[in-house]
Amino acid sequence: MNMAEQQDERVEDPAVTNFRRYLRIKTVEPEPDYDGAIIFLKEMAGEMGLPVQCVEVHPGKIIVIITWEGTDPTLKSIVLNSHIDVVPAFADHWKCDPFEAKKMENGDIYARGTQDMKSVGIQYLEAIRRLIKKGERLLRTIHMLFVPDEELGGFKGMKLFVHTPEFKKLNMGFGLDEGLCNPTEKFTLFYGERATWWIDVICTGDPGHASKFVEDTAAEKARKVMNAFLGYRDEEIKRLSTEKLGDIQTVNLVRMSGGVANNIVPIELRLRFDLRLSPKQTPEFLENKIKEMIASAGEGVSFEWIRKGVCYTTPLDDKNVWWQTFKQVCDNRKLELDPMVCQGATDACYIRPLGIPVLGFSPIPYTPMLAHDDNEYLNEDIFLRGISIYESLIQALANVNYDQ
């Protein structure tokens, strides 16, 4: 770090400094520096006098748990989840080094992970630091989770962790996880996610020498399959004019394979499709639609399931005291929420099936959504406001006084 950077960090809010330090740790998939992140997180916890537990759920994949015990630890706890890893960034397409955490004159901080989601992890820590400094004691225990592998699907992270004794000991009653930026004054809120369905469509036909017009080929059937699936895709795209992305089904061809030589018509071709099922549609509808589209290609076409997820949502109703508490805080602070189904997937998809309510929330308004994109950034004023918002939310949620 040069002298200019040192001077810059001496005058900025310490929370922003910590945020920028965290951003500079290259936790980039597929070879993230988890060791560096764990050292940093232990330092943060040590400054607040909070205990740290590290749970290795897979070789090299460690869940970091920082705990602030409540006055009644027998009650269900509040879990604040964030993931440590980030996606790759290609420096040639950025206006600055994506791991420099450079702050512009207007306070915009450019770095991979500013939005997704190192900002939220630091905001949790800094909100709790403020509460401790004020001498607050909250009713329920709070566990801050910093998890690996989310950007690769969480298969070696949260998916394994929820089945461990250590997770059970958390006694989780409610959780917060990542949300999304919003370019307006609104705050995006995820209450569920679309289910991921992957299928392989296998098209078989007559082989032969490529110098002839072989009839009834696998390629002809593959074309019919593609036309059917992409036709359905076009139908769903039209719905975007009146509905949110999380409320409709997406359909995309993601892989094609087959063939053995340049001069042989293949006997088999495989097409892999990624479909996302919205909670607002039934699994039976989409299953029947898949069968219908495959049948339209004729004989010799079948499919195999690669992944078939299930939609789980957290109800936003009067019976959900967690939602009511969350909403009351936002109403008091005059924060306009924009509830929606997440179009992608987060670690919450492994927690909701356990019957535990989780809301996805990142307090980032007035910001274009640049997660996974070039020149990802977050303004320091919005970041600092988010700490204050979490301070109110954490205090209210951890003081919910009912025996659940």
Catalytic residue among 116, 149, 150, 391: 150
Please tell me the distance from the alpha carbon of residue 176 to that of residue 169, in angstroms, as a whole number: 18
DSSP of 46-90: HHHT--EEEEEEETTEEEEEEEE--S-TTSPEEEEEEE--B----
Q: In the structure encoding, which two tokens stand for residue 75, read together? A: 């009650």
Please tell me the distance from the alpha carbon of residue 53 to that of residue 44, in angstroms, as a whole number: 13
Q: Count of CB atoms within 10 A of residue 200's CB?
A: 15
In the three-class reduction of DSSP (H, G, I as helix; E, B as strand; rest coil), residue 378 is classed as: strand
380 a catalytic residue: no
**Nearest Cα to 52, choosing from 43, 209, 389?**
43
Most distant CA pair in the chain: distance in Å?
A: 83
The owner of tokens 């960034």 is: 89
Cis amide leading into 117 (omega within 30): yes
Q: Which residues pair with 177 in a beta bridge?
A: 360
Catalytic residue among 9, 85, 126, 151: 85
What's the CA angle centered on 161, arms 160 and 164, to 5 degrees? 100
Please say whether the beta carbons of 68 and 141 come within 8 A: yes
Strand 102-103 relative to strand 108-110, pairing: antiparallel
338 a catalytic residue: no
Burial environment of residue 181 by CB neighbours within 10 A (0 to 12, 13 to 18, 19 or more):
buried
- Catalogue the active-site residues: 85, 150
